[in-house]
Amino acid sequence: MPNLASFYRGKRVLVSGHTGFVGGWLTAWLKVLGANVIGFALPPKTRPNLFDAAMLDRNIISIFGDVRDRGALTTAFAQQQPESVIHLVGQAPANRAHDEPVETYATNVMGTVHVLEEARYARSLRALLVLTSEVTGEDRAQDARARSDLSGNDLYGSSLACAELVTKAYRESFFNQPGSAVVASVRADNIIGGGDWEEGRLVPSIARGISSGKPVSINNSDRLSSWQHVLDPVRGCLLLAQCLYEDGRDLAGPWTFTADGPAISAEELAKRMISLWPEDALTNPNPSSASQKKQLSKRGSPKLLAHIGWKPLLNFDQTLEWTVEWYRAFYQNAALAWPITEAQIRRFTQISGK
């Protein structure tokens, strides 16, 4: 079973997208583990944001660059010589994809091409992990390794599917020889947690509304989705990247990190989140919708569990409790952003035993 602390201490890990929500938590955990983190991303676009609030640029190499700029990536790889790379696809937000289709495809598809192309020539590189979000809402009972669907019914989902196809093609064309880096791609279900302020996302909208005392308007309030705390897929990425580095090619390929539990409507999530926050807040969901739950099929991969010991550790109630705990701490005192982030990572580590 992988031991994260002993493995990542002193390792050079490049995180593309370190200024975003998931990338911020990944960077924070790597810092706690003692890794030499190299971040590559555009500056944060929202105010506030996790990167600035938790001062994640401290004790790392933070490079503000664009994955669409191959020259900037070439310089970063050449100068930093990463041993592992975790590339976060989906930096163009889903809610903007329809308005900015060219930017979406350029970032998610060609940005992935550029990272993979630089990885081809990086002799220091041992492992490359490409993380996307889930692009379809279908339940899958089959092993995550065996999935063949790469559908994307909208521009954003299509761009993520294209990024996976690109990753597969590069893996089979350039990363299948002895001595080359080992490449895997991962999908993850809806990810929530403290420190997300992206416009148009459900949890940030609720947190803003509660903290400001303004009503929260919820779109598609009866839509059912599965939710997982950001630390679950981040832990999965860390475990899988370590196994790619140490165990090699039997783990190359596509994987899925899925929530294990009931699908919850947006209205139900909002009500539960508000109930955990000891302040008055109003919500304005669709009055005709009712709270709904549906049990998900088990979509986690048995092979993934056997190889790297990953499974979701926080249930839905815990996920919301940890999320509200983070936002409450921040809105009470913004200086608590890093302490609460570090505290939750260490608490999660105790639960996982890693």
Please write the tens of the pLDDT for every residue from 80-113. Answer: 999 999 999 976 567 788 888 999 999 999 999 9
Q: Is the pLDDT score of 37 beyond 70?
A: yes
Mean residue pLDDT of the chain comes to: 85
Distance CA 315, CA 317 (A): 6
pLDDT of residue 251: 87
Average pLDDT over residues 23-31: 98
Q: How many CA atoms lie within 13 A of 21 on its CB side?
A: 26
Share of the chain above pLDDT 90, in %: 59
159: how many CB neighbours lie within 10 A of its CB?
A: 28
Domain ranges (residues) in the chain: 4-352
pLDDT, tens digit (0-9, with 9 covering 90-100), for 132-186 = 975 433 333 333 343 445 555 688 889 999 999 999 999 999 998 888 999 999 9
Q: Tell me how long the chain is.
A: 354
Average pLDDT over residues 6-24: 96
pLDDT of residue 136: 38
Superfamily of domain 4-352: NAD(P)-binding Rossmann-like Domain (3.40.50.720)
pTM of this structure = 0.89
pLDDT, tens digit (0-9, with 9 covering 90-100), for 281-305 = 433 433 333 334 443 333 445 555 5
In the chain, alpha helices (H): 4-8, 21-33, 50-53, 70-80, 101-105, 111-121, 155-174, 202-212, 231-247, 266-276, 302-308, 316-332, 337-352
